[in-house]
Amino acid sequence: MRTYDVTLTITPDSIVWPGDQPVNIVRTSSITAGDTSNVSEISMSCHTGTHVDAPDHFLNNGITVEDLSLDLLVGRAYVLYLPDVSVITASVLIDADIPPRTRRLLFKTRNSENWANGNREFQTDFVALSVDAAELLVDRNVKLVGIDYLSIAPYNMGVPVHTILLTAGVVVIEGLDLSKVSQGRYTMHCLPMKLVGVEGAPARAILVGV
């Protein structure tokens, strides 16, 4: 068994959603400067890097991140590799080789090449789910979806796809780096920070598999 870290590294250079503040990490106490210890502070959007969306992100007064079920965030997951699609539609999913009863589904797309290449420009043409794909996943009782860019929904079309998924209680993981994993079955551990009353949180995500 191997452990794959599918988490983006958070750095001051991290790509952020257009309009979000860049990541800021400052050392507020420094041994070099004569302090007894090193201490840092960070400021960033809760949707920076690899992160989880809770229902409250698009459903006002929805469940916030500290109340997400760990039973969904930990368990068997399937990585589906879709190298040649620009939008993940229902028909793409119907034609794809998804094992029956898959409850956690992670999409590896050409988006992951951006992480492998160290591309520092935000891409607006990233691969994401269409509305009919989101509806199909809910119908199939998928309970967690993950994508390898910063939104599960196409750029400038965030509301319907997020709303369909979050209304159905589907946990959404965004910003996965799946460049080093192949299509197949894994055990996933995705643990968002336990922030109270917040609509999303950065997470460490790993996959364990062969």
Amino acid identity of 60?
Answer: N
**Considering CB under 5 A, how many residues would be counted as binding Zn ion?**
4
Smaller CB distance to Zn ion: residue 47 or 143? Answer: 47
Binds Zn ion (CB under 5 A): choice among 6, 23, 47, 186: 47
Residue numbers annotated as active site: 57
Q: Pick from 164, 200, 167, 190: which is nearest to 105 by CA?
A: 190
- Residue 108 in contact with Zn ion, rule: CB under 5 A: no
Question: Residue 146's Cα: distance from chain center in Å?
Answer: 5
- The CA–CA distances, whole Å, from 124 to 49, 75, 146, 153 equal 16, 31, 18, 11
Piece in contact with Zn ion (CB under 5 A), picked from 23-31, 136-144, 166-174, 188-196: 166-174
172 and 163 in contact (C-beta within 8 Å)?
no
Beta bridge partners of 106: 79, 146
Minimum CB–partner distance for residue 62 and Zn ion (Å): 13
- Residue 53 in contact with Zn ion, rule: CB under 5 A: yes
Smaller CB distance to Zn ion: residue 142 or 147? Answer: 147
Smaller CB distance to Zn ion: residue 53 or 56? Answer: 53
**Contacting positions for Zn ion (CB under 5 A):** 47, 53, 174, 200
